[in-house]
Amino acid sequence: MTSPRTSIVFGTFKGMGDLLCAAPVILSELRKDKSVHLLLFPSPTLHDFCNLIDFSPHQNNLHLHSIPDSGGLAEWKQFLTEMRRITPEMVWISPHAPAADSSWKIPLVLRTIQSLIWRDARLVGADTERLSLLFHRRLPVDRQLSLQQREWNAYRLFYGEALSERPPKISFIPEISARRKESPLYDLVIHPGANAKNRKWPLDKYGILVSNLPRSWRIALLGLPDDLAIVKKTMPLDRPVSYITGTILESIQTLASASTLFIMDSGNMHFAQVLEIPSIAVFGYTNPADIIDLRGYVEAIYEKRFPCQPCRKAVCSQPEIYCLNGVDPALVAEKLKAQWNRLHGHAHHGENLVKLSNNPRTYQIKPC
């Protein structure tokens, strides 16, 4: 008779990018023949996305659970019933959120469940998490590292530096990764979407951007229908552009079918890194060095020009989102063309960080 498989609980994920950055740690635990239980905020798309990451041949050992985001009694009853079926040895609190934004509710909920149900489990997380005093093991995590390296370094702190300094490579399932082996359908795919307004470059700038790009380029705009409807109105009438929307699988397949991408500070950046697609991403309220590896495939357009940067606030404190609104479409076009030239044989070395040129505009800055 085989002994029960050791279980690990990973929590808690709200965004696809955060989950993808934790995937090397999840994969490493699966390779130890452990059952991994992911705690996710309720989102059908997030659940679908988990099935797009290639954890084979261990996919059957990965289990998804929705943690209630409200006080509904029925939802909590269902969640606690699921938790009673698990006997984890460890509960891993992912350090993807900035320290100031880390949740105090999640550690409290998980420690309560541990005390009542998972009595042999140990909570492990960063010492800068809110309510980290509830953890059994507090790790001195460097939160200035990029998200994936931050997660992996925390894992190395726990298990020892015998682990490789670089996390294991993550791939999407063959239905996506196979697209990278085919001839690109598009020279450029643009995705204007992000999960917060102050992560989105103004939609009325895309028409100017496309006007500054080579007429021979095959360009597609990918995103939500409402965003695409606004962007379409700004497009030059003499430029053929494809407009694409669809499921999360179809969206990532479209990204994988491009030579290069123009994206926001969003999950698409992390998709680009995994797909190894040269990309340009615009940053404003976050410092890209805290989010992505600037030695990778994503080139960041960012400069700290305002005292409120990087604020990481859900709502901008200024009259308008200066840090993004000030990014010139002509600059973006030049960076996309330069990247295209590098793809065709011109070498590039060093960090992928683009600083903005001087802008004569006067800004009325409010106190942060």
- Reported as a single tens digit per residue, the pLDDT across 328-352 is 999 999 999 999 888 877 444 344 5
Q: SS3 for 13?
A: strand
Structure confidence by residue, pLDDT tens digits, 257-276: 999 999 999 999 999 999 99
Kindly indicate whether the domain formed by 179-354 is annotated with CATH number 3.40.50.300.
Answer: no
In terms of Cα–Cα distance, which of 277, 302, 269 is closest to 21?
269
In terms of Cα–Cα distance, which of 365, 258, 353 is closest to 321?
365
Long-range contacts of 101-106 (CB under 8 A, 24+ apart): 101/312, 102/126, 102/128, 102/129, 102/130, 103/12, 103/130, 104/130, 104/131, 106/11, 106/12, 106/67
Mean pLDDT (the chain, rounded): 89
Q: How far is the C-alpha of 43 from the C-alpha of 74, rounded, in Å?
A: 17
Cis amide leading into 2 (omega within 30):
no
Instruction: Indicate whether 356 pLDDT > 60.
Output: no
Q: Which runs of consecutive H residues, i.e. helices, occur in the chain?
A: 16-30, 44-50, 73-84, 105-116, 147-159, 174-177, 206-211, 225-234, 248-256, 267-275, 322-325, 329-343
According to DSSP, the residues that pair with 186 across neighbouring strands are: 258
pTM of the model: 0.89
pLDDT at 358: 46
Structure confidence by residue, pLDDT tens digits, 180-205: 999 999 999 999 999 888 889 999 99
Domain boundaries, the chain: 7-159, 179-354
According to DSSP, the residues that pair with 261 across neighbouring strands are: 189, 279
Structure confidence by residue, pLDDT tens digits, 32-55: 999 999 999 999 999 999 999 999
Common-topology check for domains 7-159 and 179-354: yes
Structure confidence by residue, pLDDT tens digits, 117-146: 999 999 999 999 999 999 999 999 999 899
In terms of Cα–Cα distance, which of 256, 283, 334 is closest to 244?
256
In terms of Cα–Cα distance, which of 60, 69, 52 is closest to 36?
60
- Specify the range with the lowest mean pLDDT, choosing from 8-12, 94-98, 346-350, 364-368: 346-350
Q: Which two structure tokens, joined as six digits, stand for 20?
A: 């993808």
Q: In CATH, what is the architecture of 7-159?
A: 3-Layer(aba) Sandwich (3.40)
Q: Which two structure tokens, joined as six digits, stand for 281?
A: 């991403």
- Specify the range with the lowest mean pLDDT, choosing from 148-152, 222-226, 250-254, 362-366: 362-366
pLDDT at 55: 96
pLDDT at 351: 47
According to DSSP, the residues that pair with 65 across neighbouring strands are: 39
pLDDT at 357: 46
The whole-number average pLDDT for the span 2-9 is 73
Percent of the chain with pLDDT over 90: 71
pLDDT at 366: 56
Contact 66, 41 (CB under 8 A): yes
The identity of residue 292, as a single letter, is I
pLDDT at 5: 67
**Crossing angle between the packed helical segments 147-159 and 267-275, to the nearest 10 degrees:** 70
pLDDT at 284: 85
Q: Which two structure tokens, joined as six digits, stand for 310?
A: 């990087």
The whole-number average pLDDT for the span 278-287 is 90
Instruction: Indicate whether 362 pLDDT > 70.
Output: no
